[in-house]
């Protein structure tokens, strides 16, 4: 069992549920086999129990989602969803991004229970227990690219930094920008929107 230290005072176990490896199981089988009250993802056919995020992570994720949702709804661009929303990328691969966006032309991939296929944007907010998976070289980073998620953002709540990755023609993520604090980013995916990571910080 691997343990991940998420602070000096808290240690959690990142574990794989015993007997829970099925490389090709469907989303329905995965959903039926897991507890709704337990945070899990299906990675390479393994049901992985995910540690609960820190409060700073939740503050940042909610702020990002609120900013995007306000703009997306005003301009009827699509839908913004937050965790825990299952995204079934492929058989044996169901991930739960912190924030996701699906463009209006593709909203049919959003069902009553989960998202089927790659969103147009995935946003992951780093936590010590999951950062290695979310960053370049991590398994989730690779799976999002393999599934064809065209836009991937990684946000570090400690350094207040937004890193922007765009899928190139070869299916590889290229880092196209990095923005800290009050630095402005105008995402092509959301015309008319200006983002500053500092705006997502807890203000009290």
pLDDT score recorded for residue 194: 97
| The pLDDT value given to residue 54 | 85
Q: For domain 53-200, give the CATH number.
A: 3.90.1570.10
Neighbouring CB atoms inside 10 A of 168's CB total: 12
How confident is the model at residue 115, as a pLDDT? 97
First to last CA, the chain: 38
Contact 20, 42 (CB under 8 A): no
User: 95, 41 in Cβ contact below 8 A?
Assistant: yes
Ordered mean pLDDT values, 10 residues apiece, the chain (204 residues): 27 39 71 81 88 88 96 98 95 94 98 96 92 93 97 95 97 97 96 95 64
Return all residues near 22 (Cβ < 8 A) that are at least 6 apart.
29, 45, 92
| pTM of structure | 0.86
Nearest-angstrom CA–CA distance, 164 and 148: 15
Integer-rounded Cα radius of gyration of the chain: 17
Walk across the sheet containing 161-167 and list its strands. 78-82, 99-103, 121-125, 151-156, 161-167, 173-180
Return d(Cα 113, Cα 199) in angstroms, integer. Answer: 31
């Amino acid at each position: 069992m691997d343990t991940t230290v998420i602070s000096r005072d808290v240690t959690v176990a990142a574990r794989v549920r015993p007997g829970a490896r099925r490389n090709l199981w469907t989303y329905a089988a995965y959903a039926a086999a897991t507890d709704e009250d337990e945070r899990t993802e299906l990675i390479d056919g393994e049901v992985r129990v995910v540690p609960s995020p820190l409060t700073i992570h939740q503050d940042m994720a909610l702020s990002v989602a609120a900013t995007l949702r306000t703009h997306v709804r005003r301009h009827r661009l699509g839908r913004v969803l937050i965790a825990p929303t299952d995204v079934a990328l492929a058989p044996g691969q169901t991930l739960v991004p912190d924030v996701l966006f699906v463009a209006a032309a593709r909203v049919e991939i959003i069902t009553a229970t989960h998202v089927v296929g790659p969103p147009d944007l995935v946003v992951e907010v780093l936590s010590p227990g999951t950062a290695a998976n979310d960053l370049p070289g991590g398994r989730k980073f690779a799976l999002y690219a393999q599934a064809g998620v065209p836009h991937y953002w990684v946000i570090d709540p400690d350094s207040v930094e937004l890193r922007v990755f765009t899928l190139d023609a070869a299916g590889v993520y290229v880092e196209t920008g990095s923005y800290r604090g009050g630095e402005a980013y105008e995402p092509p995916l959301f015309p008319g929107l200006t983002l500053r990571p500092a705006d997502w910080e807890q203000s009290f």
